[in-house]
Chain A
Amino acid sequence: MNEKTTLPVKLPIKEPGAAHSGLSDWYWQRLSAVVLAVLLPLPFFLLVSVYGGSVDQQGLLDLLDHFISRLLHTLLIAALMIHVYMGLKVIIEDYVHVAGLRVCLTGAMLVVMTGFGIWWLAIIWAWGG
């Protein structure tokens, strides 16, 4: 046996097993993607209509104020927040390998995204008048 061998010493296999999660992340990412695919074109359509001159400011306000519009807008924001959170979480999990940092980053992102979503909802539903 060559004493100069530099092969790494094999550690005993200590395998933690599955966390029994992951399916819900995967599911919500896809569900939110479908909602976004359906709802996201609508604001762009509205934008084009405004720039094209077929909808004026009052018409735009009437459209946005409508109950159905607010409902769809709420759905869109919820789907957007969920989708962005899930996507960024996956990226953080991919590249941040220090568990403590990963947990902190994901948590901070969750707080920021939730706050942003609530702020946007407050605008849509005109909370506080």
Chain B
Amino acid sequence: MSEMIQLSVFRYDPEQGDKPTMQNYKVPITGSGMKLLDALNYIKWQLDGTLTYRRSCGEGVCGSDGVNINGVNGLACITPIAGLKQPIHVRPLPSMHVIRDLVVDMDHFFDQYRQIQPWLKTFTPTPEHERLQTPEQRAELDGSYECILCGCCTTSCPSWWWNGDRFLGPAALLQANRWIVDSRDEAMGERLDQLEDSFRLYRCHQIMNCMEACPKELNPTAAINNIKRKLLARKS
């Protein structure tokens, strides 16, 4: 018999009206390099079909399986089982409304993303072919464009837990900075105007949980600091 791993998974079904509980499962190791998502899949397909979670690509690209693993946010699909303390506690992303089991309501998160207007804004006439960038200008976007909006950073931020209704959170602010530093974007002033707010931007207290949680190893705190520097430079 193959080696078994133990999991303790958050279960909640509001339609049943029950209180949330942690349910224990034992899952065999199915191969070397087994990821947490493989264990969740095993539970769903072999043990308990009622377990509900989001997953799509299974490769850390789509960002749909962000969960809280042993107290730390991460993507189940790229988190190796090896090295995780057992029983592995799997919970939904913190501070989010749970729809069922590990599935959380991401609407507010994406509303906040929409608020930073994540699209290219230009005022000059559209060029005949394309808006060109030098390799250096393109390199400015490194560390920002890789974000997959999984929500691991924002939901690990205590400042967002306390003031999530007003503080935009690390993910949205990382993206705000992505458009501010984009050489093709012509609305930096407008973007900075929309961020200059003691809650929307300055609620970041540099706790840096976002950086710890990011499965793509990005640094939203640095991006937020860059926005603060831009605002300071504008006023100085």
A and B: partners?
A: yes
B194 at the A/B interface (Cβ < 8 Å)? Answer: yes
Q: Does any Cβ of A come within 8 Å of B199's Cβ?
A: yes
B193 at the interface (CB under 8 A from A): yes
Cα of A15 to Cα of B163 in the assembled complex, Å: 15
Q: Is B202's CB within 8 Å of the partner chain A?
A: yes
Residues of chain A from 1 to 30 with CB closer than 8 A to chain B in the complex: 2, 4-8, 10, 13, 15, 17-23, 25-27
Contacting residues, chain A, for B228 (C-beta < 8 A): 23, 26
Answer whether residue A62 sits at the interface, using C-beta atoms and an 8 A cutoff: no
- B232 contacts the other chain (Cβ, under 8 Å)? yes
Distance (Å) between the CB of A26 and the closest chain B CB?
Answer: 5
| Interchain CA distance A21-B235 in the complex, whole Å | 12
A34: shortest Cβ distance to chain B, in Å?
A: 14
Q: Nearest chain-B residue to A19 (Cβ)? A: B197
Which secondary structure characterizes the binding site on chain A? loop
Residue B142 is within 8 A (CB to CB) of chain A in the complex: no
Q: How far is the CA of A95 from the CA of B163 in the complex (A)?
A: 8
Chain A hits for B200, CB < 8 A = 18, 22
Contact of A26 among B99, B105, B202 (CB under 8 A): B202
Given the known A-B contacts A7-B99, A10-B107, A94-B159, are A19 and B198 also in contact in the complex, defined by CB atoms under 8 Å? Answer: yes
Q: Mark B186-204, 1 if CB is under 8 A from A, else 0.
A: 0000000111111111110
Q: Give bound CA distance, A25 to B202, whole Å.
A: 9
Most buried by A among B159, B193, B202, B232: B202
What count of chain B residues pass the 8 Å CB interface test?
A: 27
B231 at the interface (CB under 8 A from A): yes
B15 with A2: CB separation less than 8 A:
yes
Let me know if B162 is at the binding interface, CB within 8 A: yes
Q: Are A5 and B198 in contact (CB under 8 A)?
A: no
Residues of A within 8 A of B197 (CB): 18-22
Note all chain B residues with C-beta closer than 8 A to A90: 205
Task: Given A23-B235, A26-B228, A94-B159, answer yes or no on A6-B15 (Cβ-Cβ < 8 Å).
Answer: yes
| Shortest Cβ distance from A21 into B: residue | B198
CB distance from A2 to the nearest CB of B (A): 7
- B20 in the interface, Cβ–Cβ < 8 Å? no
Report Cα–Cα, A95/B161, bound state, in Å: 11
> Contact partner of B231 among A15, A23, A95, CB < 8 A?
A23
A13 in contact with B198 (CB, 8 Å): no
Closest Cβ of chain B: how far from A110's Cβ, in Å? 15
Cβ of B198 and Cβ of A22 under 8 Å apart? yes
Provide the B211-236 mask, 1 if CB < 8 A to any CB of A, else 0.
00000000000000000100110010
Residues of A within 8 A of B162 (CB): 94-95
Q: Does B54 contact A (CB under 8 A)?
A: no
Known interface pairs A27-B235, A94-B203; 5 further A-B residue pairs with C-beta atoms within 8 A, sorted by A's residue number: A7-B99, A18-B193, A22-B200, A23-B196, A93-B203
Task: Write 10 A-B pairs (CB below 8 A) sorted by A numbering.
Answer: A2-B15, A10-B107, A15-B115, A17-B194, A22-B198, A23-B231, A27-B235, A93-B198, A93-B203, A94-B163
Chain B interface (Cβ < 8 Å from any Cβ of A) = 14-15, 97, 99, 105, 107, 111, 115, 159, 162-163, 193-203, 205, 228, 231-232, 235
